[in-house]
Chain A
Amino acid sequence: MLRLTDIVGNASDPDIADRLHHIEHDGGVERVRLSRNDLARRRQRLVTDRGTELALMLDRGAQLENGSVLLLEPGRAVLVMLDEPQWLVLRAAHAAGALEIGYFAGNMHWKVRFEADCLWIALEGPREGYLKRMTHLLARGDATVLDAPAQGGTRYLAVPHAH
C-alpha cells in the first residue's frame, strides 16, 4: 500500500502538466476517480485504475480537487479525477410548486443547483430513493421529472499537450 500525505500540485499547473505528459507517455500515470463527496475526505483508502492501493492521509486543511496530483516522481504519478455527479432534474409546474420542491430539497439537505425553472438534484444514492421521497409532491403536480441528462462519467481534465 502506498501511503500519501500531500497534494503535490494540480495537473493544470503547466510545469506539472509537462511532467505528467512525459510520464503518461511512459505509461506511468495512475488515476483515482472520486465523487464530489469523497473529495472532501482527508483520509481514505483508494485504489487506482491500475490496482495500486493508496492510503491517503492529508492535512486537515488540505482540499482535494479535480486534477490534484498525489504523487509525482520519475516514471510515476497519481492523479485525482472527479466523477461527475448524476442528476435528477425536476421542472416546477408553477411558482408554488417551485417553493414546495425547493423547500423540500433543502430540508432533505440535498445538494442542488438551479437552471431556469428546473431544479437539479445531485444524486448521492439510487435515483428511485429520491423519487420515493417526493412521491407526494410529484403526485399533486408540483413538478415533473425530466429525462435524465447526459450521464456523468469522469470529468475531462485539460492537460496541456504539446503534440
Chain B
Amino acid sequence: MSAQLNSHARPRGAARVGIGGPVGSGKTALLEQLIPRFIARGTDIAVITNDLVTAEDAERVRRSGLIAPERVLAVETGACPHTAIREDPTLNLAAADELDRAYPGLELILIESGGDNLASSFSLDLVDYWLFVIDVAGGDDIPRKRGLGVLQCDLLVINKVDLAPHVNVNLPRMVAEAEEVRAGRATLLTNCARGDGVDAVVERIAQEVLFDR
C-alpha cells in the first residue's frame, strides 16, 4: 500500500453541522441568526431544512433575504423527523451532496432537523458536529430528564434565556444541571429573538469544524 504525504491539505466538501431540538425551541430562529454571521465572516454557506410534510421552514429562510434562495434545500421527512437525521439520513445526505456539487467552494452546510422530542439525535454519517436547542420556556427540568439529544450533542444551546424570570425558571440551576448531565461538554445560552449569545455559537462551530483557530 502506498503512503501519501498529506500535511498541506485543503478541505474536501463542506463541513456539515446539525441543528436539532424540540418543536418551538428556536431552531429556525437560531438558523436565521447564524446565517448572516457566517456570511459576514466570509463563510460560504448553504442550508437544509427538514419538515414533516411541507417546506415551511425552508420557505421561511428563503423569504428572509438572508441567503440566496437556491442555497436553501428542503427535505420533507414524511415521518418522525429523527428518522431522517439518524436511522436513515439518505434524503439529507443526498441534499448535502447536491449542495456540495452545486457550490464547489462551499464551506458549511447547516442542517436543521424537524422539531422532535428530547431523544432525537444526529447520525455522524450525516453531520460532523451537531447542536441541540432547548429553551427555558419548555421547563428548567429538561436537562434533568437526560434526553439523548441533551446528553449526546456536541453543543447544547439553551435559548430564550430572556424569558426565564417570566416562566419561573431558575436559569443558573438549569445551566448547572445541563453541565452536570453532559459531563462538562459545551453549553451556551442564547436569546435568538435578539441574537444575544449567537456570536459564541458561531465561534464554537468555526473552531470545531472550520478550523479557524
Contacts and interface: CB of A to CB of B under 8 A. Distances in A.
Interface of A: 1-6, 8-9, 13, 15-16, 19, 37, 40-45, 55, 57, 59-60, 69-73, 108-109, 124-126, 129, 132-133
14 contacts: A2-B7, A4-B6, A5-B11, A5-B12, A6-B4, A9-B3, A16-B3, A40-B125, A43-B16, A55-B211, A57-B11, A57-B211, A124-B151, A126-B181
A114 B131 CA distance: 32
Interface in B63-101: 86, 97
B136 to A, nearest CB: 22
Given A3-B7, A8-B3, A55-B211, 14 more contacts: A4-B6, A5-B12, A8-B4, A37-B124, A40-B124, A44-B129, A44-B208, A45-B208, A57-B9, A57-B11, A60-B13, A70-B6, A109-B86, A124-B152
Contacts of B148: 108-109
Nearest to A76: B7
Nearest to B148: A109
Interface of B is mostly: loop
Interface residues of B, number: 33
**Residue among A8, A15, A43, A109 with the most chain B CB within 10 A?**
A43
Interface string B118-158: 01010011001100000000000000001010011000000
A133 B144 CA distance: 11
B166 interface: no
Contacts of A60: 13, 97
B41 interface: no
B6 A69 contact: no
A152 to B, nearest CB: 16
Nearest to A108: B148
Given A5-B9, A126-B183, A129-B146, A43 B15 contact: yes
B209 interface: yes
Interface in B136-192: 146, 148, 151-152, 181-183
A60 B126 CA distance: 9
A16 to B, nearest CB: 6
B5 interface: yes
Contacts of B4: 6, 8
Given A45-B208, A125-B152, A69 B3 contact: yes
Contacts of A9: 1, 3
Contacts of B12: 5, 57, 59
B197 to A, nearest CB: 22
B17 to A, nearest CB: 10
B11 A125 contact: no
B151 A125 contact: yes
Interface string B98-128: 0000000000000000000001010011001
Contact of B119 (A5, A8, A109, A132): A109
A69 B2 CA distance: 12
Contacts of A129: 146, 151, 181
